[in-house]
């Protein structure tokens, strides 16, 4: 507290009282208070006096000490405080020293970088000066050579060099000085980082380029040409090159300029002068492009998109280049008549064992060498009715048809179909009457049945060879091969092996490890490994050729069937393979064919008028569709199954194949099936793990088949389920109205006599008056005497009342009938 004199006194703990304050004295600004206690005399500093500059320290100040702390503890704490302050001072000094060292290191690095940049600039200047000196010497040498070659050429007067006041030539600025000034101007305003990056020496800077750009070879040639023309005494106009420009139906402006070898800006300017505001990426029509081409002085050659196929047009072979080739024999006939077994016996193989159900479902291509050394190429086509198109393709690429007919079964529908294919292809036929070893065999009946289809064999005084064979015992196989060899000699089959290959795709599939694989029968030329080809809408390069024995071969000549690897996609069975010179040609042809096929499909399914759109929508409403997705192992099977699906249905129900392809069932197929609510049918293929999991999660049904009979039957049964049930009426009785009564609460009741059949309460009724139906409905009541009954037999009397109808008369006839639903099936 303060006393009256303004002097501060301090109240102390431990019983100090105001009366104990003896005196106060001051040292400078700080006033100390002297306090007398019973034990000792203490000088108490003023608060703040222990701070730096404040005078005494608080180390022995009992007034600042917390209660319960001894002098020793207080001294220990003060010593720890002083040690902490000393450490802070040391750390601050260490930080200052480290910062100073870092600053010195930065300054040293900066000096090293500046020295390095200076050295690089000097190296650039030296390289630039050296290049300029070499360029100057080279130009002087060229000029001297040109003057020596043309001494009569007038030389240009040289411009007088500027002179100094002392009539001496003014010293030209050195290249190094000009470069240094240019660099200083370019670097003005840039940061230190840009200067560091500019120290890198590039090829463009070393050769005199600026901004990392240097002159192209064409620019250097133009510069040399201008220098030569200047040295010769004048400029010579370059002669314009007249070009033949191929002009399609539509072309972009930039492509037109490229074909004319003109600047795009000049072409755009010419179009703008014609009133067309276009850019280089816009498409113009052929007539406008023709005007532009003529304006620039070039010649126009009109072409169409189909002209891209001109590179694979068939070339007529010279007779002297033709050489004999093996015949291609196609085995045809009905199911289970022994076609494949007969071929197995010829080539000593087992093919049927690998086919599901014991029937051939693919086209097999094999080569067989007979005992006499003759090479024969065989095509084994399936006999099932669904593979009509596959048999048709087999007949188109064949030279001889071997028609196999079972001696115990005679001529069947597929046999007749094979005969029609052979006649349509115009190829000779050999009839092989198989299974003659069976007890019920009757070859003469087969010959007689063939007469109905205009096939007259030699034993019936005809021209068609016939051979009785047995695939089990081997009977007649030698005679069959002799007949084939004789027929091939008559045909004189020849081809030119020294030309670009051409062949037909017998079968195609998507192999998991090898990708798209096509079985190709080479018809002309020689197909070699590395050839670039186009086949249908696909193209590729031959990576490998594999023969029918699974061996890799380097080339395949005429009539040789091989598997071709290296396609970019799976072709259609029956597509023609052509070898091209470049990959660009093959790609262009494939793209054109793909676009043409897409346009054709769009045109076939598109409606062009409003009436057609309305009619199509009305038809779709009345027709129930069964959507399916189908994946097969080979292209031929997929195509045959799709054709079989198209035949299923009638005016009410049809099967719609949303997607068909070859290869395993993938997750994409499952997604499409889920979106369309369609099942997935796999023919000799399976779904991968991810597709199976997705199908289980989304509830998509996947069915696997290995025999085409089962697949077609299941789809037909499923489509039959979409047919509306047929309602049939069954007449069960007639009753004649004898009298009409009025009953209270019921209305008019007819007293009837059942004349025929039976009258049932649950059946439907019609009221006939003069054999004309005037009402159709149900019965409200059926009574016999006073009891309600379920039915009344013929010859008995009953009472009937109609539901909601009272116009009944005596003499009317009541017709009683029942309706039943009959499940319909597709034929």
pLDDT in tens, 76-88: 888 999 999 999 9
Question: Among 107-116, 239-248, 307-316, 753-762, which is the least confidently predicted range?
Answer: 307-316
Q: Is pLDDT above 60 for 461?
A: yes
Dihedral of CA 719/720/721/723: which sign? positive
Backbone angles phi, psi at 723, to 5 degrees: -70, 140
Question: Among 199-208, 582-591, 606-615, which is the least confidently predicted range?
Answer: 606-615
Vertex 109: Cα angle to 108 and 111 (nearest 5): 65
C-beta atoms surrounding 513 within 10 Å: 5
Q: Quick one: pLDDT at residue 270?
A: 92
Residues of the chain above pLDDT 90, percent: 9
Backbone angles phi, psi at 683, to 5 degrees: -105, 105
Q: Which among 142, 156, 287, 329 has a CA at the least distance from the CA of 225?
A: 142
Q: Quick one: pLDDT at residue 627?
A: 85
pLDDT in tens, 29-54: 444 444 444 444 444 444 444 444 44
Q: What three-state secondary structure class fits 201?
A: coil
Q: Is pLDDT above 80 for 120?
A: yes
The answer to whether 1 and 11 are in contact (CB under 8 A) is yes
Question: Among 305-309, 528-532, 612-616, which is the least confidently predicted range?
Answer: 612-616
Q: Which among 808, 811, 641, 627 has a CA at the least distance from the CA of 712?
A: 641
Contacts of 738 (CB under 8 A, 6+ apart): 751, 752, 753, 797, 810
Our separate counts of H helices and E strands in the chain read 19, 36
The answer to whether 407 and 473 are in contact (CB under 8 A) is no
Which position has the higher pLDDT, 319 or 714? 714
Which position has the higher pLDDT, 391 or 486? 486
Torsion of CA 77, 78, 84, 85, to 10 degrees: 160
Distance CA 410, CA 438 (A): 13
Q: Quick one: pLDDT at residue 707?
A: 79
Question: Among 438-442, 721-725, 729-733, which is the least confidently predicted range?
Answer: 721-725
Distance CA 466, CA 487 (A): 12
The answer to whether 366 and 378 are in contact (CB under 8 A) is yes
Mean pLDDT to the nearest integer, 318-344: 80
The answer to whether 388 and 643 are in contact (CB under 8 A) is yes
pLDDT in tens, 220-247: 888 888 888 778 766 555 667 888 888 8
Q: Is pLDDT above 80 for 819?
A: yes
Q: Quick one: pLDDT at residue 57?
A: 44
**Banded pLDDT at 754 (limits 50, 70, 90):** very high
Looking at residue 46, what DSSP letter applies? P
The answer to whether 268 and 279 are in contact (CB under 8 A) is yes
Q: Which among 426, 362, 361, 416 has a CA at the least distance from the CA of 395?
A: 426
Backbone angles phi, psi at 518, to 5 degrees: -125, 135
Mean pLDDT to the nearest integer, 122-147: 88
pLDDT in tens, 597-639: 777 766 655 444 445 545 555 555 555 778 888 898 887 788 8
C-beta atoms surrounding 579 within 10 Å: 21
Q: Quick one: pLDDT at residue 635?
A: 78
Distance CA 12, CA 26 (A): 19
The model's pTM is: 0.49
Residues of the chain above pLDDT 70, percent: 74
Mean pLDDT to the nearest integer, 62-81: 79
pLDDT in tens, 767-808: 998 888 888 888 888 988 888 898 899 989 999 988 888 888
> In this structure, what token pair is assigned to residue 278?
């276009």
Q: Is pLDDT above 50 for 495?
A: yes
> In this structure, what token pair is assigned to residue 324?
């004999």
Which position has the higher pLDDT, 25 or 581? 581
Q: What three-state secondary structure class fits 145?
A: helix
Looking at residue 438, what DSSP letter applies? S
Q: Quick one: pLDDT at residue 721?
A: 72
> In this structure, what token pair is assigned to residue 45?
């500093």
Vertex 552: Cα angle to 508 and 502 (nearest 5): 50
Q: Which residue has the tokens 């049939």?
A: 728
Distance CA 767, CA 76 (A): 128
What does the mean pLDDT of the chain come to?
76
Q: Quick one: pLDDT at residue 292?
A: 92
Count Cα neighbours of 718 within 13 Å in the Cβ-side half-sphere: 18
Distance CA 632, CA 635 (A): 7
What ranges in 190-263 are assigned the alpha helix state H? 192-197, 203-206, 217-232, 253-260
Question: Among 64-73, 720-729, 732-741, 808-817, which is the least confidently predicted range?
Answer: 720-729
C-beta atoms surrounding 564 within 10 Å: 28
Q: Quick one: pLDDT at residue 623?
A: 58
Mean pLDDT to the nearest integer, 544-554: 85
> In this structure, what token pair is assigned to residue 597?
């096929």
Mean pLDDT to the nearest integer, 676-695: 87
Contacts of 343 (CB under 8 A, 6+ apart): 331, 349, 351, 364, 366, 378, 380
Backbone angles phi, psi at 553, to 5 degrees: -125, 155
């Amino acid at each position: 507290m303060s006393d009256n004199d303004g002097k501060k006194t301090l109240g102390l703990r431990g019983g100090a009282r105001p009366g104990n304050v003896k005196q106060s004295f001051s040292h400078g600004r700080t006033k100390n208070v002297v306090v007398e206690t019973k034990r000792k005399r203490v000088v108490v500093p003023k608060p703040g006096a222990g701070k730096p500059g404040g005078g005494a320290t608080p180390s022995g100040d009992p007034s600042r000490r917390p209660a319960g702390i001894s002098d020793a503890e207080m001294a220990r704490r003060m010593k720890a405080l002083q040690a902490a302050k000393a450490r802070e001072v040391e750390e601050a000094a260490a930080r200052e020293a480290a910062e100073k060292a870092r600053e010195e290191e930065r300054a040293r690095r900066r000096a090293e970088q500046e020295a390095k940049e200076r050295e690089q600039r000097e190296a650039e200047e030296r390289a630039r000066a050296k290049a300029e000196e070499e360029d100057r010497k080279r130009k002087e040498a060229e000029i001297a050579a040109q003057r020596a070659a043309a001494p009569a050429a007038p030389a240009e007067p040289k411009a007088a060099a500027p002179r100094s006041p002392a009539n001496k030539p003014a010293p030209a600025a050195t290249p190094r000085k000009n470069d240094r000034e240019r660099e200083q101007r370019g670097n003005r305003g840039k940061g230190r980082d840009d200067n560091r990056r500019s120290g890198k020496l590039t090829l463009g800077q070393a050769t005199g380029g600026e901004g990392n750009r240097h002159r192209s070879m064409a620019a250097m040639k133009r510069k040399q040409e201008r220098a030569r023309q200047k040295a010769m005494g004048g400029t010579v106009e370059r002669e314009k090159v007249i070009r033949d420009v191929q002009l399609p139906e539509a072309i972009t402006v930039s492509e037109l300029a490229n074909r004319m070898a003109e600047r795009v800006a000049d072409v755009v300017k010419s179009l703008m002068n014609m009133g067309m505001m276009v850019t280089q990426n816009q498409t113009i029509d052929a007539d406008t492009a023709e005007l532009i081409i003529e304006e620039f002085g070039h010649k126009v050659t009109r072409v169409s998109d189909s002209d891209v196929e001109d590179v694979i047009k068939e070339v007529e072979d010279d007779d002297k280049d033709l050489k004999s080739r093996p015949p291609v024999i196609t085995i045809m006939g009905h199911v289970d008549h022994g076609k494949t077994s007969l071929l197995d016996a010829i080539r000593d193989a087992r093919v049927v064992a690998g086919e599901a159900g014991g029937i051939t479902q693919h086209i097999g291509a094999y080569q067989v060498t007979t005992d006499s050394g003759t090479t024969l190429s065989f095509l084994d086509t399936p006999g099932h009715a669904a593979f009509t198109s596959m048999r048709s393709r087999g007949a188109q690429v064949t030279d001889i048809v071997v028609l196999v007919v079972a001696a115990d079964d005679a001529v069947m529908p597929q046999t007749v179909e094979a005969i029609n294919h052979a006649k349509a292809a115009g190829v000779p036929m050999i009839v092989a009457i198989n299974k003659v070893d069976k007890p019920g065999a009757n070859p003469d009946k087969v010959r007689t049945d063939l007469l109905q289809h205009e096939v007259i064999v030699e034993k019936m005084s005809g021209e068609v060879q016939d051979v009785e064979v047995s695939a089990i015992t081997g009977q007649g196989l030698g005679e069959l091969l002799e007949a084939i060899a004789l027929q091939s000699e008559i045909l004189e089959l020849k081809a030119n092996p020294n030309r670009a290959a051409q062949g037909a795709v017998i079968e195609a599939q998507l192999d998991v490890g090898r990708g798209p694989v096509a079985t190709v029968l080479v018809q002309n030329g020689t197909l070699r490994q590395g050839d670039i080809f186009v086949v249908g809408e696909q193209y590729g390069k031959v990576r490998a050729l594999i023969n029918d024995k699974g061996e890799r071969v380097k080339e395949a000549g005429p009539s040789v069937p091989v598997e071709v690897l290296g396609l970019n996609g799976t072709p259609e069975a029956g597509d023609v393979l052509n070898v091209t010179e470049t990959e660009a040609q093959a790609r262009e042809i494939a793209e054109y064919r793909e676009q043409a096929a897409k346009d054709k499909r769009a045109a076939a399914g598109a409606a062009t008028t409003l009436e057609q759109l309305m009619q199509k929508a009305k038809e779709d409403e009345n027709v129930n569709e069964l959507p399916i997705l189908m994946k097969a192992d080979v292209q031929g099977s997929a195509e045959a199954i799709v054709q079989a699906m198209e035949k299923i249905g009638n005016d009410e129900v049809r099967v719609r194949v949303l997607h068909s392809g070859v290869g395993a069932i993938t997750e994409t197929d499952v997604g499409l099936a889920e979106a369309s609510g369609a099942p997935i049918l796999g023919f000799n293929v399976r779904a991968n793990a991810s597709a199976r999991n997705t199908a289980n999660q989304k509830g998509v049904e996947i069915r696997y088949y290995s025999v085409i009979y089962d697949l077609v039957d299941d789809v037909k049964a499923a489509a039959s389920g979409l047919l509306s049930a047929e309602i049939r009426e069954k007449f069960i009785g007639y009753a004649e109205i004898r009298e009409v009564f009025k009953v209270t609460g019921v209305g008019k009741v007819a007293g009837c006599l059942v004349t025929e059949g039976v009258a049932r309460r649950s059946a439907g009724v019609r009221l006939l008056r003069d054999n004309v139906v005037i009402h159709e409905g149900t019965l409200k009541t059926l009574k016999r005497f006073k009891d309600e009954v379920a039915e009344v037999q013929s010859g008995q009397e009953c009472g009937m009342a109609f539901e909601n109808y009272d116009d009944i008369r005596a003499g009317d006839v009541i017709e009683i009938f029942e309706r039943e639903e009959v499940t319909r099936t597709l034929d």
